[in-house]
Structure 1
Amino acid sequence: MFVGGDSIKGEDPNYSDQVSGFLKKLDQESLIVTNMGLEERIRGCAALTNCESFDHALAGFLSQEPWPDDVQLFQPYETEQILLPDNANCLAVQTFLKMCDLKYVVEYRTNAEEMSPSGRVPFIKCGACLISDFEPITSFVSNKGISLSAHLDEVQKADMRAFMSLVNTVLGNAENYLTWVDDETYSKITKPRYGSVHPFPLNHWLCFSKRRTVLKKLSALGWANKSLESVYEEVEKGCSALSDRLEKSRFFFGEQPTELDALVFGHMYTILTTPLPNNRLASTIRGYPNIVDHCKIIEKQLFDCYVIELSCIFEHYIIWGRIERYYEESGFDYYDP
């Protein structure tokens, strides 16, 4: 049985302790026979703990299991399909897993969105669990006793969560705006790439449907009616706040990376390395040298020393060297990092 990301995300932090305690109690009272399967054990535990659902109890039990060697991370194809917002999210999750030194294998699927329990990418398959999105995945890993922020105090953890919300709210919405609202980017980049893996007329219908969904979400958040200039202003403010927090440190909270560093790197690096008809978004980030240096440090430590491993556009090009060659070939304006 697979557990969706929403179940994991909404899990009571006490469920794991309850599940463990009641399994021990059941064993002590000989209520579990030796041939009783895992599902029956969890169902019995769920009944005793008054868990809301079997999913919650199973999630709590499985979160205590060691990290397996066959974890799979599912995402769209990088070279021809993935778009800026999804690429940023996928890179953030991969960076987090690498920072935690957890093994995983990337699996590319044209229908990764439809396979995901939340309809968003990336998602991971870890044993019997399916977990999607950055925060549910970090929570799931944390339940296994692995955390990048364990060394922080409560005030620092609150600050970290606030800045993570800032990244998702500002950079995430800006990426979706440029990808789906800005007409030039939509016609030249989004529409051809999003529909490239599907036959006609399905490619047009899926792109139209996705755009409608994203516009509805952005409207609810007050972003759909913004001008392009106001979007760039929001990004400028967000980068300024992140730059002030980072200052001259290697990472946002000292010498050790946290979940915030993984999230920021995923978004900043993707924006810097994705050519768009208008590269003002990348230019804005380049106006903050400490953020660019932060990206270089993490890339050098985790992704083979300045060789682009995950960028959907720049495969086979070195980031601060031959990247100019791609711009010349593509016809986009070159930016000098």
Structure 2
Amino acid sequence: MPGRIMPDYMFVEMGAREPWPSDAKLFQPYEVEQILLPDNANCLAVQAYLRMCGLKYEVELRSNCEYMSPSGRVPFLKCGAFIVAELDPIISFVNSKGISLTNDLDTADKGDMRAYMSLVNTVLAVAELYICWCDKRTMKEVTLPRNGSVYPWPLNHVVNWQKRSQVMKKLSVLGWANKTLEEVYEEVETCCNALSERLGDKPFYFGDNPTELDALVFGHVFSILTTPLPNNKFAAILRGYSNIIQLCKLIENKYFKRISQ
């Protein structure tokens, strides 16, 4: 795939020179048979963000999307001559074109937004990895069959082993590898409580208009609520926070125009 993989600091200078193309493509794994909960959350967050910005794109489903990505993670965006992977770099790239969801926020609110995005990424996103790769029942019944579904035997076993090894190293560095399932659920509960308190009774986290925090929360919460898992405790915790559920329904109805579940 031709394209320039640019460092973030070069997006501002070079990205602004080119208008948003009519053929922008967002690459992600197959949704029905392959994608796992953490990747689905990331892909939905990026899709929500692009839709909130009013930017058109086409989703391209590829079995080897993870290996095509410049960062090794999904999703990634091919926009004209540029290839950009993951939400934060995509936000920087979009901002370089003069498009922003946070123009009306002051410095304090922007800092607050980044702090809560960090909370989502360090708790919900990591908990999703834990559930998929450390909970034995989920790994056996969901993770391994889906992650290896697009590869023939014995390659599917090799790919699954490599992926689990990679995830376990990350969880170990973050101090999550030896947590119990109950401890993970406690982390999720604490995170959701903080997110719920910050949202309050507002339609979006910072008032009447969405920001990238709203897109990120939507991606993770919607994915958790709609992904069948052997143990539904993850989703049950989230359903205890009605304002977060309402936020997700609002984003789904306003930007995706799908029937809420």
Normalised by the size of structure 2, how large is the TM-score?
0.97
Deviation at 1:3, TM superposition (A): 3.2
Q: Which residue of 1 aligns with 2:247?
A: 294
Q: Which residue of 2 aligns with 1:334?
A: none
Pair member with larger Rg: 1
Deviations 1:219-270 (A, max 9, x none): 0010111110000000000000000000000000000000000000000000
Distance in 2 separating the partners of 1:212 and 1:271: 23
Q: Which residue of 1 aligns with 2:175?
A: 222
- 2:16–2:98: 8 Å Cα contact kept in structure 1? no
Q: Which has the higher contact order (CA 8 A, sep 6+)?
A: 2
Q: Which residue of 2 aligns with 1:268?
A: 221
Query: Which residue of 132, 149, 153 corresponds with 1:179?
Result: 132
Percent identity over the alignment is 59
Distance in 2 separating the partners of 1:61 and 1:4: 12
Deviation at 1:4, TM superposition (A): 2.8
Deviations 1:283-321 (A, max 9, x none): 000000000011111111011142xxxxxxxxxxxx43x
Q: What is the one-letter code of the residue matched to 2:51?
A: K
Structure 1 pair 233/123, CA: closer, same or farther in 2 (3 Å)?
Answer: same
Q: What is the one-letter code of the residue matched to 1:157?
A: K
Q: Which residue of 2 aligns with 1:313?
A: none
RMSD: 1.2
Matched, 1:207 2:181: no
Distance in 2 separating the partners of 1:217 and 1:165: 16
- 1:59–1:129: 8 Å Cα contact kept in structure 2? no
Question: Bigger shift: 60-69 or 244-253?
Answer: 60-69
Deviation at 1:66, TM superposition (A): 1.0
Unaligned runs of 5+ in 1: 12-55, 307-318, 321-337
Structure 1 pair 305/196, CA: closer, same or farther in 2 (3 Å)?
Answer: closer
Q: Which residue of 2 aligns with 1:304?
A: 257
- 2:4–2:82: 8 Å Cα contact kept in structure 1? yes
Unaligned runs of 5+ in 2: none
Q: Which residue of 2 aligns with 1:96?
A: 49
Distance in 1 separating the partners of 2:88 and 2:135: 28
Q: What is the one-letter code of the residue matched to 1:207?
A: N
Deviation at 1:119, TM superposition (A): 0.2
SS in 1 for 2:60: strand
Q: Which residue of 2 aligns with 1:80?
A: 33
- 1:2–1:128: 8 Å Cα contact kept in structure 2? yes
Query: Which residue of 14, 30, 38 corresponds with 1:61?
Result: 14
Deviation at 1:59, TM superposition (A): 6.6
Distance in 2 separating the partners of 1:252 and 1:106: 27
Q: Which residue of 2 aligns with 1:329?
A: none
Q: What is the one-letter code of the residue matched to 1:155?
A: A
Aligned length: 260
Distance in 2 separating the partners of 1:59 and 1:151: 20
SS in 1 for 2:71: coil
Runs of 4+ in structure 1 deviating by more than 4 angstroms, as ranges, are none
- 2:15–2:93: 8 Å Cα contact kept in structure 1? no
Distance in 2 separating the partners of 1:71 and 1:134: 15
SS in 2 for 1:130: strand
